[in-house]
Amino acid sequence: MEGTHLLTMTSRVGSALILIGLIALMVFLVTLTIGLADWRLLLAGAALAALGLLLRRRAARTEASGRFRTLRRMLGHRPEDE
């Protein structure tokens, strides 16, 4: 149960970082059009979005997939076969 909770929280933190990074990139684009762009905002937005994607992919990769569990059981596949 603890591992599942940790994976869920990691995925949520990753989603939040992606959202914050995209907002920062949008703010950068708006400030770029009016000529007041700060390049650190571009770097921060891209870094936050990339970190969020990394966290979400890592959490999704380590989650055990329960799809087709019944079919695998009926066909006699064990977890070692996959």
Look at residue 81 in the predicted model and tell me its pLDDT: 43
User: How many C-beta neighbours within 10 Å does residue 68 have?
Assistant: 11
The pLDDT tens digits for 60-69 are: 776 556 667 7
Share of the chain above pLDDT 70, in %: 82
Question: Mean pLDDT in the chain?
Answer: 85
* pTM to 2 decimal places: 0.70
Q: Which residues of the chain have pLDDT under 70?
A: 1-3, 62-67, 78-82
Among 43, 73, 56, CA closest to 17: 56
Look at residue 47 in the predicted model and tell me its pLDDT: 97
